[in-house]
Amino acid sequence: MKAFVVNKRGILRPAMDMKNVTKLNDNAGNCLSCCRVERLNNEEAQGLLPGVLLPFNTAFFMPEALNINPQHYLEALFRACENLVKESSSQDFGEKQLSLHQKSVHGLSEFEGEYDAVIICLGAKANTLPEISGRLPLRTCRGVILNLEPPDITRCYPEHGPSILSDAWIAVESSRSLNVGSTWEWKSINSSPDVSIDEASKARHELLPKASTIYPEIKDWVFTGAKAGLRAMPPLTPLGSLPLLGCINDFIGRNHSCKYWLFGGLGSRGLLYHGWLGNLTAHAALSCNEEVIPSELTSWKNINPKF
């Protein structure tokens, strides 16, 4: 399953300014043993990835960090849930059923009388529901990523070379396929994965100079396509950009036969948050108790959306 889900193990984070150096040094000094952070100088980084450039002669390597194929990951996660349901049912914990229904939904009222709880996790599409449209403090942002291949059969990315996290990131699919991202188009409402010729050209002019600052050889790689997505970014708060969780029955202003929950605003770091926050939301929905969710994650209800 790891080979199916994980494209690459190991991520290199070059320091791009002194603020980076200070923060990442702190992380390296306080990292968990299961997710260690190693500080590297230029010579050590060259051993990992020949040709890499470090503006401040410092990079931080996370050998256990993973570059995930998101589609494969989500498919595997659903299969894991199916297996868990089968296992718990066979162990006399009571019969359970997990079903996937795919249908268009035009409003929350369609769920009335059929479900005890509904969890809304539509990302940037949450604002399309009429009951909550325009009432969520989400900031939309479209991002484009590029796919590149080497210019000829003699060139390839080093087999054991890590992915790179910098002003532009380089995610390694294979030694002959790199993804480079991402752009940030704020206030966009374009959720199409398709990228026009003009949009792709603009993304190339924006991303390739950033990527080549760290890995100059990428300038010779050939553009083979682009894809895009729409992020749902949470509001900025004194505590940072925190996801949006909580019961929204009072928020949408009517009495309901079931409870409606929001799970959104995970932004561009949803993979880091989703397991923990999903567990919190499940406990809240099953117990009908919002207080199991940290108040920092429900305080968004006091924020007036700004557009």
Q: pLDDT tens for residues 234-266?
A: 988 888 889 999 999 987 776 776 799 999 999
Mean pLDDT taken over the chain: 89
Across the range 9-23, mean pLDDT stands at 90
Q: Cα separation of 169 and 216, whole Å?
A: 13
pLDDT attached to residue 229: 94
Across the range 184-193, mean pLDDT stands at 94
**pLDDT surpassing 60 at residue 306:** no
Q: Cα separation of 65 and 52, whole Å?
A: 19
pLDDT attached to residue 3: 56
Give CA angle at 214 (10, 267), nearest 5°.
Answer: 60
pLDDT attached to residue 219: 94
- Among 48-62, 107-121, 266-280, the range with the most confident prediction by mean pLDDT is 48-62
pLDDT attached to residue 267: 83
Q: Are 262 and 248 in contact (CB under 8 A)?
A: yes
pLDDT attached to residue 307: 45
**pTM for this one?**
0.86
Return the percentage of the chain with pLDDT > 70, whole number: 96
Give the burial class of 278: count Cβ atoms within 10 A of its Cβ; 0-12 exposed, 13-18 middle, 19 or more buried: middle
- Cβ count near 67 (within 10 Å): 19
Stated as kind and residue range, the H or E segment containing 23 is: helix 18-30
Q: Cα separation of 11 and 27, whole Å?
A: 14
